[in-house]
Homo-oligomer: A and B are copies of this chain.
């Protein structure tokens, strides 16, 4: 029976690591004393197996645990449960990677649009792409539409809702999506550039389906989703129900300290179908290091079975001044997201957006490199 491998870093004394590794394998599979299991097939096929233990330091070990794919039921929530459910409560363990058999990759499916599809949507071959955010929450739909219009006139590729925009009394989703989509269409017709608007999805599966239906009726084929807020089963379901529609994954709530960022963005979110993964860039308001960002972007783009790559979207306290440096760091398969800093331009938002668009195009077009 096929197994996935969960790779953990475990803090332990050398003389107890073998017992600790076995305990993790049991915790994340049958969760009961092995000696009380009488069914032979459970012992051979279901109980987690310690595959390898490698010392990384005096009291730090890499432990690989083989978990039966059958225990995941090929369902997103249960996969997460098997990988890190109970073990999240034991703070000597960090999840550092997930290795899945190719048939499991195919079953979960990954991104349906991916980097190549997002490039086609933006008409942006070979260069990095740009993203801005509609804020602040509290503005009525008309105020957000005005901002979106200016960003579109500035040639931004993707305009996403702030992830705090849900379905609030001061800006109902239905009002917002209609007003913003119309503004983006109008301004896009003027520029000739097909700027995409990404409404933020929230609530139950029922609510999200209705939000997607409303968006699609406005010609929208790109959405923002927060997998850990919606729940992984809901995120995965809407991705699978909407092939050809692009979903950007937002990092909110991923600050589970003991799952390494590349696992969230490059593995879990990508596996479930995130076409683009937004993450906190180094040097901004959040604590990711350059190495973490490099690993994360690498994991999002790397070959992984037959899955399409996810587009890395560094964000979080970014500024125009940093564009050349960031593009140099990530290369052209990147979507640059400047949120609040762009909006400080106020009445000059169109011009500032134009400058952002031009900087990204100039710095990352194939000829400039």
Contacts and interface: CB of A to CB of B under 8 A. Distances in A.
Interface of A: 23, 27, 29-33, 35-39, 41-42, 45-47, 68, 70-73, 75, 77-78, 80-82, 84-91, 135-139, 143, 162-164, 166-170, 202-207, 226, 229-234, 237, 251-258, 280, 285-287, 316, 339-341, 343-344, 346
A167 B263 CA distance: 25
B136 A32 contact: yes
A80 B253 CA distance: 8
Contacts of A89: 251, 254-255, 280, 286-287, 316
B204 A233 contact: yes
Contacts of A85: 163-164, 226, 229, 252-253
B75 A32 contact: no
Give the number of copies in the complex: 2
A30 B231 contact: no
Nearest to A205: B205
A339 B341 CA distance: 53
A42 B46 CA distance: 54
B30 A78 contact: no
B164 A88 contact: no
Given A73-B202, A89-B254, 20 more contacts: A23-B285, A29-B136, A30-B137, A30-B138, A30-B164, A33-B341, A39-B138, A39-B139, A42-B136, A42-B138, A42-B139, A73-B168, A77-B230, A78-B202, A86-B251, A89-B251, A89-B287, A90-B285, A205-B205, A257-B258
A252 B30 contact: no
Contacts of A233: 202-205, 207, 229-231, 234
A82 B285 CA distance: 17
A341 to B, nearest CB: 7
A202 B344 CA distance: 44
Contacts of A39: 136, 138-139, 143
A137 B226 CA distance: 30
